Structure 1
Amino acid sequence: MSDGRFAILDPAAGISGDMLLGALLAAGAPVEPLRDLPARLGFPDVSVQVRPVDRCGIRATKVDVIMPDGRQEHPSVSAEDGPQAHHHHHSGDEAAHHHIGELIERIERAPLSSPVRERAIRAFRLLGEAEGRVHGVPAAEVALHELGAADAMVDIVGTLEGFEGLGVDRVYNWPVAVGTGWVRAAHGVIPVPAPATAVLLEGIELGPNGPVTGEATTPTGAALLRVLSSGAPPSRWRAVAAGAWGAGGRNPGGYPNALRLILAEPAAEAGEVVLISTDVDDLSPEYLDPLRDALFAAGALDVQVWATQMKKGRTGFRIEMTVPPPEADRVSETLFRHSTTAGLRRQTVERVTLARRELQVDAGDGMRVRVKVLDAPDGPRVKPEYDDVALVASRTGRPAHEVARDLHNRAIRLVSPDTATRSVIPNKES
C-alpha cells in the first residue's frame, strides 16, 4: 500500500493462527477469500466459520475450521486449563495424515499470489524445522492429523491473504506472552512454551505473562510472527484503527483471551525527517558505493558523502543522510553494520518540499519515459528519468542529451501549455 500503513500486533494474551486470522477479519480484511480457501488448498469438505464472541467484555472475532463431521480443532488440555486451541504436530506418527512436505506441495499448486505462496511455504518449513529439531527427524517427515493439517493451512494461508487484503506495508509486534504451566501433546504433557514453540520464538522479544496461564502462544502463531514481523514498532506512530480483536479458543473470564491488531501510520509531522551523520577515517573509498546502496535500501531518502580532514591530519569522509522517522533505527543499524563508524549523530529537522508527481511521456516507437514533475511557485518543473532516457538513447542511437531535451519539452507542454514557451529548452542551433 502506498500510504505507508502498517500493523502492530499486541500479543499480551499470546498469539495463535486463529487469533491472528480473527483479528485481521475484525480489522477489515475481506472474508470472501477465506470461504473458499479450504477448497483451494485441497480440503474441499472443510468449512470455515466466522463469528463474533465476547472475551472479558470485549467483542472479538472467532474463526473455526470445521470438518465434514462437525469436528473442530479442540483446545489443548493444560494443567492450568490453558487458553488456546492448538494442534501439536507429530514426528513420524503413522496415525497422522499429512506430512509437512505434502502440505508445502499443496501450497505450491494452490491458486495463490506469489508473496502469499512464498511466505506460506517459509512458515511451514519453519514449523517442520522446529519440530524436526526437537524430535530429531527430517522436517519433511513432521506430520499433522487431518484436522490439524486443515486448521494450520487455513490459519497460515488465510492470515497471509488477510494482510495482503488489508494492504499494510509492514507488521510489527509488542512483546509476546507465552503462558505458563503444561500442555498435552501426542506423547504426554510438556511444559509451556512447547519445545517447538520455544525454538520458533528464538530472536523474538518475549514479555510478562500477566494473568495468562496455560499455553498462550502456539507453534503456528510463532511461525507467523517469524515470517511477518519486523520486530518492535517505530517509536512514533498514529493509530488508524485500534479496535480489532481476534479470539482464542478459550474464555477464561479473568482477562481477554484475544489478540489485538492495530492499524497505524507514521506520526511524523509533514516535512519532518531525521538527519543522521557520522565521520570515518578508516573506511576505504571503494566501500562507499555499497554503503550508500545499503542505506537507501534501509529507507534513507538522501545520502551524501564528502571528504573531510580529521584529527592528526587524516583524510576522512562525512556520511550524512535524511531519513523518515519510522526508519531511523533501521538506517542507524545499517550504518553501523556497513561502515567502520563507532558512533553517529541524529537530530530531527524540518524539511520543506515541493509537491511532486510522475507522468509518462511518449518517446516514440512504442516507448514511454517516466518524468518527474515538481509544482513550483513559478510553474511546473519537469525532469525525465535518466534511466529511461538512457534506454531510449541506446535503442535509437540518439545522444542522451537530445532525448532528454525533447522529452522535457513534451512534458512541459503536457503539464502546463500556458508556460510551455518560456519553459522549453531550445535547440543548440537556435
Structure 2
Amino acid sequence: MGRVLVVDPSIAGASGDMLVAALLDLVGDQGVGVLKSLGEAVKRCCSWVEDLRVAVEDVTKHGFRAKRLKVELRERGGHRHGGEILRAVECASQKLGLSERGRGIALAAIRLLLEAEASIHGSSAEEVHLHEAGSADTVIDVVGSAALVERIGDLEDVYVLPVAVGGGRVRIEHGLVPAPAPATLELLRRGGLYTVGGPVEKELATPTGVALIVAMGAKPVKFLPPMRPLAVGYGAGAMDLPGVPNVLRVIVGEGDPGLGEESVVILETDVDDVTGEVLGHVIGRAMDAGALDISVIPSHRKKGRPGYLVRVLVRPGDEAAIARLLVEELGTLGVRVVPVKRFVVPERSFVETRLSIGGREFAVRVKVSRDSQGRIVAVKPEYSDLERVSREANVPLRLVAQEVMRRVELEEP
C-alpha cells in the first residue's frame, strides 16, 4: 500500500514560498536542517546575493495555524536572465546533495518556468529577461521544495486539487493583465491542471508555485483521492485575504489498497425517434470504434413520449470520433461530454481450466481479476467457451458454469 501526496491549492492558490512552508510543516523536524543548508547553498550559488537569511515562523491565517517562510534578501543589480537562474538552481541542488529525484523536480520546475516566460515574451529560455521570477527567491522556492519532497520519502503518486487563481487585474512588468498572469496560465495549461476562479480579486497562483506542482508530476483531480491521511501541512502566504485563510495545504496519506485509477469520458445523448434496430446497429459500430462500454436506458421524454438515454464510455481522445458517430447514426443534435475518473481492478488475465463431461475433455478460458496486492476479486468463465461446451456436451450452460467454478476454486490459490 503506497503513500501519496496531495497538494491542495483550492483554498487560496499556490506560490513557491507557500509550498516550501507547507512542506516544512508537513515533514516537521526533518526540515530543520534543510533551511540552514538551503540558505548557505543559495548564497554561494547566486553570485549577485549580498546578504540572505532564511527562516520559518508560525502564523495564524483566519484561524488556521500555518508555517510562513521568511526570506530577508539583498541583491546587487536588477533581475536576471533565464540562464543565470537555471545555473543557480543546478548549483544549489548539487551543493544540497539532492538525489536524482530531487534534482529532477528542481530542474524540471525551473525549466518549465523559463519556457513559459519565454513563450509569452517571444524569447529563448536561456535569454528571457525575468522580472518577478528573476531573483534568488525563486532559487530558494524551487530547490527548497525539491529538497523537502525528498524528506517525505517514497511516493506512489502525487495529486493536485483545482488551483484557486483569484481574479481581477494583476500588475506585472508589462502592465495590467487579468488573473491568472500569462505565465501562470501557460503553466496551468501545460500541466493540464483544473482551475477555479476567486475566491478573492487578487493574484493567488504564481508561476513558481504552479511550475513546482507540474514538475512533481501531480495528477489533477477534482476531489481528494481515496486514502488514509497520515500527516497534514499548512503553508501561509504573505497577504491577509478578506474572509479567506491564505494557506496552501499538503497531505500525505496511504493510498487506496488494491485499486487502480484511470480517466475515461462519458458520452450521453437522448433520442425518442429511433428504432431498436438502429440502436442495435449503433451499439455494434460504437464498440468497433473503440468504445469501452455502451448502455441504452429507457426514459420518459417531452410530451409524454418514450425515449432512450444512450450512454457510451470511451477513452480520452476517442470522444470526438464516437460523438460524431452518434450524431450521424442517431440523428441527434447534441452529445454531452463528461470527463470522469474510475477505479479499476489493475490486473486481469486468462487462465485455462479443463473439465471432463461424459468422457470428453473440454478447455474453458476463465478471466481472473486481482487487485494490486494480488488478491482475487473476481472470477468469470468466458461465455463463448461455456456456450460451446454446453452445446457439444448437451449439458445446460448453468451446470457447465458451476463445474468450471468448482474446478477454478480447487486450482487457484
**Shorter-chain TM-score range:** 0.5 to 0.7
Partner residue in 1 for 2:192: 204
Alpha-carbon distance in 2 for matches of 1:99, 1:175: 31
In the alignment, is residue 164 of structure 1 matched against residue 192 of structure 2? no
Alpha-carbon distance in 1 for matches of 2:203, 2:147: 26
Alpha-carbon distance in 1 for matches of 2:224, 2:9: 17
Report the residue type matching 1:108 in the other structure: E
Once the two structures are superposed, the pairs formed by residues 385-396 of structure 1 within 5 Å of their partners are: none
Report the residue type matching 2:372 in the other structure: P
Q: Percent identity?
A: 38
Alpha-carbon distance in 2 for matches of 1:275, 1:142: 39
Partner residue in 1 for 2:38: 37
Work out whether residues 38 and 150 of structure 1, in 8 Å CA contact, stay in contact via their aligned partners in 2. no
Partner residue in 2 for 1:390: none
- What are the superposed Cα offsets for residues 137-191 of structure 1, whole Å, 9 maximum, x if unpaired? 1111123369842111111110111111111503211111111011111121111
Report the residue type matching 1:53 in the other structure: V
Report the residue type matching 1:98 in the other structure: R
Partner residue in 1 for 2:302: none
* Residues 324/96 of structure 1: CA separation in 2 closer, same or farther (3 Å cut): farther
Alpha-carbon distance in 1 for matches of 2:166, 2:347: 45
Which of the residues 66, 70, 74 maps onto 2:72?
66
- Cα deviation, residue 281, structure 1: 11
Q: What is the SS of the residue equivalent to 2:164? A: coil
- Cα deviation, residue 50, structure 1: 0.6
Partner residue in 1 for 2:231: 241
Partner residue in 2 for 1:254: 243
Which piece of structure 1 moves more, 143-152 or 220-229? 143-152
Partner residue in 1 for 2:349: 304
Q: TM-score, normalised by structure 2?
A: 0.59
Alpha-carbon distance in 1 for matches of 2:124, 2:378: 55
Report the residue type matching 2:126 in the other structure: A
Once the two structures are superposed, the pairs formed by residues 257-336 of structure 1 within 5 Å of their partners are: 257-268=246-257, 302=347, 304-305=349-350, 321-324=369-372
* Residues 108/212 of structure 1: CA separation in 2 closer, same or farther (3 Å cut): same
Work out whether residues 273 and 349 of structure 1, in 8 Å CA contact, stay in contact via their aligned partners in 2. no
- Structure 1 spans left out of the alignment, 5+ residues: 72-94, 284-298, 309-316, 326-346, 352-430
Q: What is the SS of the residue equivalent to 1:139? A: coil
Q: CA RMSD in A?
A: 3.7
- Cα deviation, residue 113, structure 1: 2.3
Alpha-carbon distance in 2 for matches of 1:58, 1:306: 55
- Cα deviation, residue 108, structure 1: 2.9
Work out whether residues 8 and 174 of structure 1, in 8 Å CA contact, stay in contact via their aligned partners in 2. yes
- What are the superposed Cα offsets for residues 203-233 of structure 1, whole Å, 9 maximum, x if unpaired? 4333433523210100001101111113327
Partner residue in 2 for 1:179: 166
Q: What is the SS of the residue equivalent to 1:48? A: strand
Which of the residues 102, 115, 120 maps onto 2:84?
102
Report the residue type matching 1:258 in the other structure: V
Alpha-carbon distance in 2 for matches of 1:26, 1:260: 10
Report the residue type matching 1:133 in the other structure: S
Work out whether residues 274 and 322 of structure 1, in 8 Å CA contact, stay in contact via their aligned partners in 2. no
* Residues 321/66 of structure 1: CA separation in 2 closer, same or farther (3 Å cut): farther
Work out whether residues 193 and 217 of structure 1, in 8 Å CA contact, stay in contact via their aligned partners in 2. yes
Alpha-carbon distance in 1 for matches of 2:38, 2:83: 19
In the alignment, is residue 349 of structure 1 matched against residue 348 of structure 2? no
Q: TM-score, normalised by structure 1?
A: 0.56
Partner residue in 2 for 1:21: 20
- What are the superposed Cα offsets for residues 394-419 of structure 1, whole Å, 9 maximum, x if unpaired? xxxxxxxxxxxxxxxxxxxxxxxxxx
- What are the superposed Cα offsets for residues 296-332 of structure 1, whole Å, 9 maximum, x if unpaired? xxx9875534689xxxxxxxx987653339xxxxxxx
Q: Which structure has more strand as a fraction of its residues?
A: 2
* Residues 273/254 of structure 1: CA separation in 2 closer, same or farther (3 Å cut): closer
Partner residue in 1 for 2:178: 191
- Deviating above 6 A after TM superposition, structure 1's stretches of 4 or more consecutive aligned residues are 280-283
- Cα deviation, residue 18, structure 1: 0.8
Work out whether residues 24 and 163 of structure 1, in 8 Å CA contact, stay in contact via their aligned partners in 2. yes
Q: What is the SS of the residue equivalent to 2:192? A: coil
Work out whether residues 165 and 198 of structure 2, in 8 Å CA contact, stay in contact via their aligned partners in 1. no
- What are the superposed Cα offsets for residues 69-92 of structure 1, whole Å, 9 maximum, x if unpaired? 8x9xxxxxxxxxxxxxxxxxxxxx
